Chains A and B, each alone.
Chain A
Amino acid sequence: MTGYILKRLVSAIPVIIGLSVIVFGIMALIPGDTATALLGSYATPDNVARINRELGLDRPVYEQYFVWVGNLLQGDFGRSYILNRPVLDEILERFGATLILAGTALVLCSILGILAGVVSAVRQFGWTDRIVTFFVLIGISTPAFWLGLLFILIFAVQWRVLPASGMYAVYGGGDLPDLLRHLILPATTLAIVATGVIARLTRAAMLEVLRQDYVRTARAKGLDERRVIYRHAFKSALVSIIPVIGIQAGFVMGGAVYIETVFQWPGIGQMLVSAISTRDLLLVQGGVLLVAVTYVLINLVADVAQAMLDPRLKT
């Protein structure tokens, strides 16, 4: 197993290098003078000269890339001139908030999606299946940002049971129960689309597996239906569900951009949106790279989990 993990870690390296090239390339494609674009309204001649020197913009593009990567490896993501602080400090501070939100949503959508999908497959064509299928369709068609507004209207404005925005109460908050209260609405909203996708896939995977010869063998052994479904069929279905959960991690982290904006959650997504509006491009670059690398790592974990479940994949 350790060998497999190492192998997967090594294979992630070119992907991460590729990501850095794309993120760097996007910024290099900015029309006009890069330094001026990066600095926006802060483009005084002093600052322009400084950023040209810092980023090596007077050198060839490939050299610029290596300078940039070298800086990244030393923890230097550049400086946000609008916030007047190092990019790394800002993104790390906000990254925690995003992880809490996206992580909770991912756990929620995995549990609910798998449950709904399994029940739906087991009771195929029954009323449970119909209800699940119907809600899945609604789930994947609903704009999450709109659903967030509806939730705020219902739970925060009408019923006044949950807070509408922020991560902690302004006064007297800061503890775990307070965080959880603030987390419920945004995490649920964020989880809904992914729940639909996972439920759909789980149902299909279960139906596929239940037709396999080895499930018939399990029945021929005299196992009761509960064990046939949960011990034999579900374990196999999980092998194809796990990578989908990995992909959903990407959708959830991306969707966090909307949800953080709607619920004013102080995460990376909210930061990115305002950084794009203020053209704070180094902040965008750092934030995008951090989230993208996280996504690669999550998929790596998903791969390892899949291999732990299916011994045929380890080789």
Chain B
Amino acid sequence: MTQALATTEPQVSSARLSSWKLLFNNRLAAGGLVVLVAICLLAALAPLLPIPNPDATFPANRLQPILSEGHLLGTDHLGRDILSRLIWGTQVSIAVGLSATAIAALVGSLIGLVSGYARGVTDNVLMRGIDMLMAFPYILLALAIVAVLGPGLLNALYAIAIVNIPFFARNVRGITIGLANREFVDAARLSGKSHAAILFTEVLPNVLPVIVITMSTTVGWMILETAGLSFLGLGAQPPQSDLGSMLGEGRRLLFNAPHVSIIPGLMIFALVMSINLLGDGVRDVLDPRLRAGDLTRPLAVTRIRRKPVPAPTPAGDAAAILEVRDLETSFQRGRATVPAIRDISFSLDKGECLGLIGESGSGKSVTALSLLGLVASPPGIITGGTVKIEGEDVLALPEGRIRALRGAKVAYVFQDPLTTLHPLYRVGEQIAEAITTHQPVGKAEARRRALALMEQVGIRDAAARIDAYPHEMSGGQRQRIGIAMALANDPDIIIADEPTTALDVTVQARILDLLQDLRKERGLALLLITHDFGVVAQVCDRVAVMKDGEIVEAGATAEVLRHPRHDYTKKLIACVPELGQGAGFLDRVRPLFAGGRP
């Protein structure tokens, strides 16, 4: 434990790394930055470089190949030096791309700011206009604009800028709406600042990261598209030339002198690629959701890396269907591994109900999920202990065997069935799927059994509800579906993780009764996870109290309720309001929490 804490320290400080450092830690982004700076330097220094005049023609010297004397990259159809034209053309392309970005950012952000701040009619009119612009295929609108203004580099620049305005307007508006109702904006308004002053001094600084992100993701496009218009002959007109028009002119010589068109294309590619790499890096740094880096795919089974692989001990309790010894599950935070639950030991007999109680964050759900390796991994790792089901260590089993246990011998009922049922499948299909996964039955038979299960868990008019989607049902009905799904394969153990928390009190009581009945009827063992001692008192034979990832007290429910030994248990028990005892409830409870957390 101390070791784990020690390794956490550097992680904490690394979270405070400056944005620049983060950017450089991203190797691709750093590579993009280096290439981009090199290209920009080359373009900016064009007047100082010892290169020939890009427009000087030498017809006698035309179409020299690459690496010919005096012309590193050869010459084009008029004998002009390609290297020189490339550098000058790059300068034009970058300038045009940046100008278009600046215009689009300026106009688009302004629209977004005003729209998001003013709301109402202004917002509606502006946003419908933006929607109209977006209803055009991207390039097509630019073409229409160039068609009206006439071909030319400046007109192409305007066209591309206009086409990109919606991206800025939408992104900025989205953030502004959220900011416009915040306290600091209200405070500024009350202090008598004008709307314009509020927009530019209070809102704008907070919107800037979004503008920067949008710029970094669109500038590459804009360079690409202005080059495209020039390629079509609608942008830069001779003698002026950018990378696109070089490519367009060279295209006519594709068969005789491919290098004339391939080289400028390569430059566009290098430029846009470096910008995109850098842009991705900038976005990762500025967008906190992505910085968290939590979007890793969870594995089928939680990774198991038990440090001291436990020696096979003889089963202590022969009657126990589930026996957990010294279970430890940790989470990876950066390079450190921090335990979430430690030394968890308990056992569950056939037909018994064990309550696992504790406040949120005490590790009770992690405990429940660890039993069959369902903790999201990464970041979860099971780092120690054993989980024995009928004497066999589950954590030592191969993935396929663990999967065969899931839903068959051990079934889960989760909290909040709105998010735990699949929103796109009918409830009947979801129950039937649980059946066909473990039993060799046909579709029709699975459906028949699903219907029977739904009736058994007390869904009225089950035949009509079997084809409903989860969102078409009430919270209580959804929870019943979750229970029906858990019962599908006649399991020996049900692990119910806060099965009634999302429900109102009357429904809660009915669901608990249902679980009790099923337990008696089928003799199944129930591990009930809850934060409510009232629920425990009503259903459980024994109870284990969890706090900060450890079990602090365990015993028969009646015993623990009567003589709680741990302070924390006393607090939890005191927190159950009793009918008719409401008066002075807070006064009774408050002293127990003196000096501590709520």
Contacts and interface: CB of A to CB of B under 8 A. Distances in A.
Interface in A250-298: 250-251, 253-255, 257-258, 261-262, 272-273, 275-277, 279, 281, 284-285, 288, 291-292, 295-296
Contacts of B423: 214, 236, 310, 312
B135 A295 contact: yes
A141 interface: yes
B420 A221 contact: no
Nearest to A121: B297
B265 A220 contact: no
A92 interface: no
Interface stretch (B4-12, B99-107, B225-233, B567-575): B225-233
Interface string A228-261: 1000100110010000000001110111011001
B65 to A, nearest CB: 15
Contact of A214 (B136, B247, B422): B422
Contacts, number: 227
A138 B269 CA distance: 8
A258 B143 CA distance: 11
B511 interface: no
A287 to B, nearest CB: 9
A19 interface: yes
Contacts of A219: 300, 374, 406
Interface in B499-558: none
A28 to B, nearest CB: 9
A222 B268 contact: no
A146 B251 CA distance: 9
A196 B414 CA distance: 38
Contacts of A235: 424-425
Given A26-B148, A145-B228, A149-B261, A218 B422 contact: yes
A169 to B, nearest CB: 19
B72 interface: no
Interface in B99-143: 128, 131-133, 135-141, 143
Contact of B433 (A18, A150, A221): A221
A68 to B, nearest CB: 15
A223 B148 CA distance: 60
B116 to A, nearest CB: 21
Given A19-B135, A141-B276, A288-B140, A146 B247 contact: yes
Contact of B148 (A29, A121, A262, A295): A29
Contact of A146 (B131, B135, B265): B265
B179 interface: no
Per DSSP, chain B at the interface is helix
Contacts of A221: 406-407, 433-434, 437, 485
Interface stretch (A51-59, A69-77, A202-210): A202-210
Given A26-B148, A219-B406, A284-B147, A253 B272 contact: no
Contacts of B414: 213, 216-217, 220
B147 A276 contact: yes
A288 B143 contact: yes
Given A213-B414, A222-B403, A222-B408, A149 B138 contact: no
Given A150-B265, A288-B147, 6 more contacts: A19-B136, A137-B273, A213-B420, A219-B300, A253-B137, A254-B140
Interface of A: 15, 18-19, 21-23, 26-27, 29-30, 121-122, 124-125, 137-138, 140-146, 149-150, 152-153, 157, 204, 206-208, 210-225, 228, 232, 235-236, 239, 249-251, 253-255, 257-258, 261-262, 272-273, 275-277, 279, 281, 284-285, 288, 291-292, 295-296, 309-312
14 contacts: A124-B296, A141-B273, A149-B261, A150-B265, A207-B295, A214-B421, A217-B412, A217-B422, A221-B485, A222-B405, A249-B137, A257-B232, A295-B136, A312-B471
